[in-house]
Amino acid sequence: MATRTHPVAPRHSLGVLRELPQYLKRPAILAPVGLRSREGWAALGMLEALHVGGLLLVVLPLITFWQQAMQLPTPDAFEKLPSGWLLPFTILIAPVAEEIAFRGWQTGYPRALWLLGGGVLFAVLTASAAAMAPLVLSGLVLSGLVLAVLVGAIGGWIALRKRRMPPGWYVAAYPAVFWIAALIFAGVHLSNYPSISVLSLPLVLPQLWAALLLGFTRQRIGLPAAMLQHAGANAATMLLVHLG
């Protein structure tokens, strides 16, 4: 039977920073300490400081230099948001939605993996149907796909709700899962830019940096902590943009 790894509690808040490099060498499924303890909040504070400090002092200056040297476009995603939605989207909506989508399932709970699989299947079927015959993807067909996935998701969730241990295959594959999820998280943010090329790849280093730290936070402290850390990093970035 698969087991969860329980991290050794650090003697002080700096201990969590010493855990991070070892964790990135061999990511594992942990038992989160949560935010109901002083340890959890102290660890979150240290990881937030590392996240924001590394972002503002190292990562953003590097990509700004690269952007100017290669004459690459600036992101235009925020310009597409309705007026007044910039702060709510970046500080509230995006951190919650992205953490659920990219890291909410990483505990490996069977019900979470079932929902992830259903979502991926729905996206693949929808994209395939639209590519093969756009006219066929009528409202009726799309409604049928949504209904089928919804029924399957609810049925699987109910059937698997009492299973709390991740499957053995997932535990063994988790190091690769962690890094693949981090790379995908960074890659999808290329859509923030009006044009994409190989030279654009370094521009998503902030998102890769975030994905690595948030992936650790999600396992070490929990999903709510990852959401708070994500929100704090986005708020710091927005403040820097505003002051600039």
Single pTM value for the model: 0.87
- Among 165, 183, 205, the domain-final residue is 165
Q: What is the DSSP string of the chain?
A: ---PBPPPPPSSTTHHHHHHHHHHHS---B----SSSHHHHHHHHHHHHHHHHHIIIIIHHHHHHHHHHHTPPPP-GGGGSPTT-HHHIIIIIHHHHHHHHHHTTTT--HHHHHHHHHHHHHHHHHHHHHHH-TTT--HHHHHHHHHHHHHHHHHHHHHHTT--SPPHHHHHHHHHHHHHHHHHHHHHGGGGSSS--GGGGGGGHHHHHHHHHHHHHHHHT-HHHHHHHHHHHHHHHHHHHHH-
pLDDT > 90: percent of the chain: 62
Is the residue at 65 inside a domain?
A: yes
Pair 46, 160 in one domain: no
Pair 152, 180 in one domain: no
Instruction: Report the pLDDT value the prediction gives residue 9, as an integer from 0 to 100.
Output: 45
Instruction: Report the pLDDT value the prediction gives residue 43, as an integer from 0 to 100.
Output: 95
Q: How many domains does the chain have?
A: 2
Distance (Å, rounded) from C-alpha 56 to C-alpha 109?
35
Calculate the average pLDDT of the chain: 87
Instruction: Report the pLDDT value the prediction gives residue 130, as an integer from 0 to 100.
Output: 63
Domain that holds residue 140: 109-165
User: Which residues 6+ apart lie within 8 Å of 121 measured at CB?
Assistant: 149
Pair 239, 125 in one domain: no
Pair 129, 214 in one domain: no
Helix axes 94-103, 223-243, angle to 10 degrees: 140
Burial of 212 (0-12, 13-18, 19+ CB in 10 A): buried
- Among 117, 146, 165, the domain-final residue is 165
Instruction: Report the pLDDT value the prediction gives residue 209, as an integer from 0 to 100.
Output: 98
Q: Are 54 and 212 in contact (CB under 8 A)?
A: no
pLDDT band per the 50, 70, 90 thresholds, residue 201: very high
Pair 100, 201 in one domain: yes
Distance (Å, rounded) from C-alpha 220 to C-alpha 106?
12
Q: Which of 17-21, 133-137, 158-162, 193-197 has the highest mean pLDDT?
A: 17-21
Top pLDDT among 125 and 93 is at 93
pLDDT band per the 50, 70, 90 thresholds, residue 10: very low
Distance (Å, rounded) from C-alpha 144 to C-alpha 133?
16
Is the residue at 74 inside a domain?
A: yes
Pair 223, 115 in one domain: no
Instruction: Report the pLDDT value the prediction gives residue 131, as an integer from 0 to 100.
Output: 65
Instruction: Report the pLDDT value the prediction gives residue 11, as an integer from 0 to 100.
Output: 47
pLDDT band per the 50, 70, 90 thresholds, residue 133: low
Average pLDDT over residues 164-189: 96
Pair 174, 225 in one domain: yes
pLDDT exceeds cutoff 60 at 135:
no
pLDDT band per the 50, 70, 90 thresholds, residue 47: very high
Pair 238, 172 in one domain: yes
